Structure 1
Amino acid sequence: MSRLEIVAAHLDLAGRTERLARLEPDELRRRAVVACRDGDEAELWAITEAFLVTRGRKGARVSERTLETYQDSVQTFVRWALPGGVQLLRPRAAEGFSFVRHLEALKLMPSSVQVRLSGARTLYAALRWAGATEANPFADVKAARDPRASHEKRSPYTDTEVNTLLAAADPQERVLLLLAADSGLRNSEMTDVRRADLRLDEEHPHVQVRGKGRGGWSESAPLSGRGVTAIKQWLAIAPADNEFLLTWRTRKSTRLRLLHLCERAGVRYEGREVHGLRHTAGTRTYQQTGDIMEAKDLLCHRDITSTQVYVQYARRGKKAANRDW
């Protein structure tokens, strides 16, 4: 996305949320009450989004990825609450805890539970801001802590597994795999890549990327040889009128595509998901170079402590120094 497009997107976001925020208090309250009564997910999200943008810490600079995550979390809560008879404006004190226990029973990762809890908590902050309720069912609710160490939470795919996936993948899926497993791109970064961002025929082929860890600015991510080949093969048959490299426009659609590919190839998806491919890139970089800064630069980590987890991945199975003493 160009800088001009980003500015335009933020102006549109600020405009629509400001229009909602400027409603007369009675009208804003009425819309929130009706949305809760009808279970209107779109309106509940519009109110939550307006609250985030007008009252949130990042204001109109909040990222598209953050908004998408919060929207999904609000939707998850509403779809759990209404069939269960929860009155959105008058929830019982225990229902916040019940929602979190429900998420944990689904075997979601603790980080995923925490994200959905944050979304539900923000929904009620927005409803209180709108004057629709004074309820705060998530005030004292906490998700269970994850007892696992950081390097145990989402392991990388092995080289053998990546090759198995590549063999089962269609041309577009191969691009997805190699942008993540070889170049370390995040899910949201891959869906944002445009054809104009590609530098395939330069001495050092790369792609211009803008994303979460890149400070809001475009940076170059090096492409592997097989990555360049896969991209060229895909572009030869891809829809010519699509400015984006991939046809999938949301992180959810990318997750589903990889899930189905893993099922076809017989490769475990759970506990690794799309982000596990990025872990593959970081781990392999450290294994081959022994240089943690190389892995840090590839993954565009702001802090090297985020990169240290890849050292742990790389050391798995390595014989202890004192084994033959």
Structure 2
Amino acid sequence: MTSFDIVLAPLNLAGRTERLARLDPEELRKKAVAACRDQDVATLWDITEAHLVTHGRKGARVSPRTLETYRDSVEQFIAWAIPAGVQLLRPRAAEGFAYVRHLEQSGLKPSSVQVRLSGAKAMYAALRWCAATEASPFQDVRAARDPRAAWEKRSPYSDQDVEKLLAKADPQEKVAILLAADCGLRNSELIAILKTDLHLDDEHPHLMVRGKGRAGYRESTPISRRTEHAIRQWLPSLPHYEEKLLLWKTRKTVRDHILGLCERAGVRYKGREVHGLRHTAGTRTYIETGDILEARDLLRHRDITSTQVYVQYARRGKKAANRDW
């Protein structure tokens, strides 16, 4: 995707969803009924996306990552429903509960179950919007709560682990590791960085990051010296026509590379994944500064409550206050 495509993406999203939303109501209803009858996943997603954009809280500002996640959730539900004999327009009341129990038993994390459930709910909200059905099979369905505290769900990588990863990383992998572990970038933010987002020669080197869930909104993020050095080492390897900083185009590609790097370096990936590197940045910032606001600013949290998890990470391993009493 070029920088021109990035600018046009919200316009294209609004345009294609408006085409569906402006259909004659009966034509829209028939389209939805046919999609359910034919198990047409692509059209079911188009209808769900149109409803999310026209009736959702974020409207056309909904992030590409959110849409990608919801689309995957719709596809996963259809993949379960058809073999299970679910009639999409006339589901039985118990089938909503059956689906969420299936998700829980499949080994998914509670947060992933909730995301899949939200996607299925969104699809049925869209079908009701089209007047294709009055069914609401997920109305009273709730996913089981995660008994773990937030800081127990995904651990940060230690400084030693990061050094091991860097020792085995190729130049592009070094850039990705350091942008996450030193600068706190998310997976989706890594693949979105353009060369023009880099400001390496400023008095305070930084890069511009597209804000999570806010189309068109960008935030400045400071970069460490070793991140700057890794980027400068990597840039000459990029084709002159390539606008992105990384050649990896999808979040899955990032996950696959970091997983492979962890395996080569003998570093645990499970329970930390790519996002654990961002936790490394937040935890180290709080440990070195003792300032939760500093950690909040680096990670670009809107609310300090999201940053409190890093205080818990930093306190791990500390001697209990009453140990020497």
- CA offsets 1:88-139 (integer angstroms, 9 cap, x no match): 2222222212221222223222111111110110001111111222221111
Unaligned 5+ segments in structure 2 are none
The equivalent of 1:130 in structure 2 is 130
C-alpha distance in structure 2 between counterparts of 1:301 and 1:215, whole Å: 16
Partner in structure 2 of residue 283 of structure 1: 283
Give the match for residue 40 of structure 2: 40
The separation in 1 between residues aligned to 2:176 and 2:39, in whole angstroms, is 36
* Equivalent in the alignment of 2:109: 109
Say which SS state the counterpart of residue 93 (structure 2) adopts.
coil
Question: In the alignment, what sits opposite 2:184?
Answer: 184
Q: In the aligned structure 2, how far is the partner of 1:203 from the partner of 1:49? A: 43
Contact 1:213 1:302 in 2 (8 A): no
Residues 45-75 of structure 1: per-residue CA shift (max 9 Å, x gap): 1000001111112222222222112111111
- Aligned runs of 1:74-113 on 2, under 5 Å? 74-113=74-113
- Report what 1:272 is aligned to: 272
The Cα of 1:293 is off from its aligned counterpart by 1.5
Q: 1:163 to 1:203 in 2, by over 3 A?
A: same
Q: 305-314 vs 214-223, which deviates more?
A: 214-223
Where do 1:157-306 residues align within 5 Å?
157-212=157-212, 217-306=217-306
Checking the alignment, whether the CA contact within 8 Å between 2:3 and 2:243 is kept in structure 1 is no
1:173-203: per-residue Cα shift (whole Å, max 9, x none)? Answer: 2211111110001122211110001112333
**Which aligned runs of 4 or more in structure 1 are off by greater than 4 angstroms?**
1-7, 213-216
Equivalent pair of 1:213/1:300 in contact (CA under 8 Å): no
CA distance in 2, matches of 1:103, 1:260: 27
Please tell me whether the aligned partners of residues 193 and 246 of structure 2 are also in contact (alpha carbons under 8 angstroms): yes
What TM-score results when the alignment is normalised by the length of structure 2? 0.93
- 1:85 deviation in Å? 2.6
- Aligned CA RMSD, in angstroms, stands at 2.1
Look up the match of 2:22: 22
- Give the drift of 1:311: 0.8
Between the aligned partners of 1:181 and 1:26, the Cα distance in structure 2 is 52
Mapped to 1, the partners of 2:239 and 2:305 lie a distance apart of: 41
1:146 matched residue in structure 2: 146
Distance, in Å, in 2 between the alignment partners of 1:218 and 1:22 is 32
1:266 is displaced (CA, Å) by: 3.1
| Whole-angstrom distance in 2 between the partners of 1:169 and 1:84 | 45
Secondary structure in 2 matching 1:320: coil
Amino acid at match of 1:284: R
Please list the CA deviations of residues 242-291 of structure 1 after superposition, one character each: whole Å capped at 9, or x if unmatched. Answer: 10111222323322332333333332222222211111000011111111
Q: Is contact 2:62–2:215 with CA below 8 Å preserved after alignment?
A: no
Q: Which runs of 5+ in 1 are unaligned?
A: none
Shift of the 261–77 alpha-carbon distance from structure 1 to 2, 3 Å rule, reads farther
Distance change >3 Å, CA 266–CA 41, structure 1 → 2 = farther
- CA distances 1:283-305 after superposition (whole Å, capped 9, x unpaired): 01111111112111111112222
Amino acid paired to 2:48? T
Q: Percent identity?
A: 71
